[in-house]
A and B are shown apart, each in its own frame.
Chain A
Amino acid sequence: AQKVTQAQTEISVVEKEDVTLDCVYETRDTTYYLFWYKQPPSGELVFLIRRNSFDEQNEISGRYSWNFQKSTSSFNFTITASQVVDSAVYFCALSEGDSGYALNFGKGTSLLVTP
C-alpha cells in the first residue's frame, strides 16, 4: 500500500504565482516523521523540512510554508511567489518505526515555473 501519496504528478505555474504541493500519508505509528525534499535536474536531493508527529505547528521559511494536519493526514507544502529556480521535483517522505525509520517516499511532484 502506498504510504505517501502525492496526487499531483506535474504542476506548471507562471512565475510569481503561489503553488501548493499536496502530500497525504498513512501510518499506524504514533511517532513518525515527515519530510519534504527538492530534487533539481542535477539529481541531488535537497532537504527542506523535517517535522515530527507531535509538532503540528505550521512552519514558514521565507517563501516556503508547510501545513501539517494530523486530522487529515496531510503535510502540504506551499511556495509563495514562485520563481523559475523553484522548478524541480519535490518529494514528500514518511519515516516511521514500523519500517525502521527508513524514508518512504511519495512519487514526487514535478513543478515547472515559467517566466
Chain B
Amino acid sequence: GAVVSQHPSWVICKSGTSVKIECRSLDFQATTMFWYRQFPKQSLMLMATSNEGSKATYEQGVEKDKFLINHASLTLSTLTVTSAHPEDSSFYICIGSSTEAFFGQGTRLTVV
C-alpha cells in the first residue's frame, strides 16, 4: 500500500549545523507534501505546504530561509533545517497527499 518513508527517524546535531530530512512517497505520487512539527506534549502544527515543482507556502511565523523545502519530484520532498538551534529541537512529520493523506514516520531532531 501507499507509504511515505521518512528519514532519518532521529538525529542529533550541533548548534549551527544544518540537517536534512527526506520524505519519499512509495507506491503513489504525492502531489502535495505537508510538513508539520510537534513540540513535546503539544499538537502537530503545520509549517509549510509544498507542491511538486513549485515554491513552498509557509505558515505564519515559520522562517522560509531557515526551513528550506524542496519538492522537486512527485516522490521526494526534503526539509532542511539550516543553522539549527536548540529551540528547533522537535518532532518533524511529513504528510504526503494525493487523494488521501499518508504520514511519514517522523524525525526527532535534537540540537545540542
Measured CA separation A104–B59 after assembly (Å): 12
Q: Which of A37-65 contact B (CB under 8 A)?
A: 37, 43-45, 47, 50
Given contacts A45-B93, A91-B44, A108-B43, contact A103 B105 (CB under 8 A): no
Contact B43 A91 (CB under 8 A): yes
Could you count the A-B residue pairs with CB atoms below 8 Å apart for me: how many are there? 42
Q: Which of B69-112 contact A (CB under 8 A)?
A: 91, 93, 95, 97, 100-101, 103, 105-106, 108
Chain B binder among A22-30, A67-75, A76-84, A94-102 = A94-102
- Interface size range of chain B in the complex: 20 to 34
- Seen from chain A, the residues whose Cβ lies within 8 Å of a Cβ on chain B are 35, 37, 43-45, 47, 50, 91, 95, 100-108
List, sorted by A's number, 30 A–B pairs whose CB atoms are closer than 8 Å: A35-B101, A37-B103, A43-B106, A43-B108, A44-B103, A44-B105, A45-B44, A45-B93, A45-B103, A50-B100, A50-B101, A91-B43, A91-B44, A95-B101, A100-B49, A100-B57, A101-B32, A101-B101, A102-B34, A102-B46, A102-B49, A102-B95, A103-B95, A103-B101, A104-B46, A105-B43, A105-B44, A106-B43, A107-B42, A107-B43
